[in-house]
Chain A
Amino acid sequence: MTTSSNHLAPLRILPRTENLERIRAYVGSAIVSTFLTDGERNGIVLAVDEAVANIVTHAAALCPTTEIELRIVVSDHDIAIEIRDQSAAFDLRDVDQPDMAAYFREMRPGGLGIALIRRVMDQIDYVPASADIPFNRLILRKHHRSAS
C-alpha cells in the first residue's frame, strides 16, 4: 500500500497565552484540506489549544524564554500533531478521567482541558525528555475513519 505524508514547517512560540491564537491559526491552516469534517477540524484545533495552554500555564514561570515547538504531519491514515517543550514533564494520560456528574455537583471551575483533549483525539502519546532528547514530546493523533 502506498502512503503519502505532508510535513509542514514547524511553528515555534514563546510560552505565553497571547500566542494561542497563532497556534490555532497554524493548526487550522494545516488541516483545512484533509479528510476531516468541520466539526473534527474544530475539535483538533481546540485540543491543541488546550494542550499548549496547559504547557504554557506550567512552563511560563519555569522557562519563560524557551520556545514550544509544534510539528504537524498529515498522512493518508492520520493527522499527528507533536508538541515539544522543555518544561517539567507532565503526562496528561496520568490524569484521571473526570467524572462529569461529580464535576457538576461540586461545581469545580478547572480541569476541563484534558477532558476535552481526550474526547476529541483518537490517540495520545507522550515521551518525556531524556538524556538523549532534551524535550518532552506530546503527540496527538486523529485517525482517518476508514483507516482506523
Chain B
Amino acid sequence: MSTFTTTVRHGEDDVVIVELHGYLDAHTASEFERELRTIIQAGALRIIVDFSDLEYISSAGLGVFMVFIEDVRRDRGDILLASMRENVFSVFDLLGFQVLFTITTTVDQAQQEFRSRQ
C-alpha cells in the first residue's frame, strides 16, 4: 500500500513549510487534501511545499493544489512548490503547471521569493 505522510514546520515571516514524504497518488491524495485544508483553515497563507522526500506524484496529487490555490491567492497568499525530484517535476512539466505555480529548486529559494513579495 502506498505510504504518504506530511511534516509541517514554521519558517520565517509566517511561512508554513509542508514537507511531503512517500507517494502521492489516487489513494493518498484525499489524505493530503484534508491536511492542506487544515493548514489553510488554521490561517496559513504563505505556504511552501517541500517535495524533496516525495518519491512519486500522479494527477490526483496535482489536483490537490488546484483545489486550494484560488482561495489562498484571493486572500493574498500563495502556495510555492520547491525541491522536486526530476520524476516528480516531469509530471508538473508535462501539463505545464509552471504557468500557474512558482516552482523553485530549493526551499530557501521559495522563502526568498516570499520575502521579495513583501
Chain A residues with CB under 8 Å of chain B are: 17-18, 20-21, 24, 38-39, 42-43, 46, 49-50, 53, 56-57, 100-101, 104, 107-110, 112-113, 115-116, 119-120
Chain B residues with CB under 8 Å of chain A are: 1-2, 23, 25-27, 56, 58-60, 62-64, 66-67, 69-70, 86-87, 90-91, 94-96, 99-100
In the bound complex, residues from chain A placing their C-beta under 8 Å from that of B59 are: 50, 112-113, 115-116
Q: Please determine whether B94 and A39 come into contact, CB atoms closer than 8 angstroms.
A: no
Q: Please determine whether A43 and B90 come into contact, CB atoms closer than 8 angstroms.
A: yes
Known contacts: A20-B2, A24-B56. The answer to whether A53 contacts B25 by CB under 8 A is yes
Where chain B touches its partner, the secondary structure class is: helix
**A-B residue pair count with CB separations less than 8 angstroms:** 73
Q: Please determine whether B63 and A109 come into contact, CB atoms closer than 8 angstroms.
A: yes
Where chain A touches its partner, the secondary structure class is: helix
Name the CB-closest residue of A to B73: A107
In the bound complex, residues from chain B placing their C-beta under 8 Å from that of A49 are: 25-26, 58
Nearest-Cβ distance from residue B67 to partner chain A, whole angstroms: 5
Name the CB-closest residue of B to A112: B59
Known contacts: A20-B2, A112-B95, A120-B94. The answer to whether A46 contacts B58 by CB under 8 A is yes
Nearest-Cβ distance from residue A79 to partner chain B, whole angstroms: 18
Q: Please determine whether B69 and A107 come into contact, CB atoms closer than 8 angstroms.
A: yes
Q: Please determine whether B1 and A21 come into contact, CB atoms closer than 8 angstroms.
A: yes
Q: Please determine whether A42 and B100 come into contact, CB atoms closer than 8 angstroms.
A: no
In the bound complex, residues from chain B placing their C-beta under 8 Å from that of A101 are: 99
Q: Please determine whether A18 and B27 come into contact, CB atoms closer than 8 angstroms.
A: yes
In the bound complex, residues from chain A placing their C-beta under 8 Å from that of B64 are: 109
Q: Please determine whether B2 and A112 come into contact, CB atoms closer than 8 angstroms.
A: no
Name the CB-closest residue of B to A52: B26
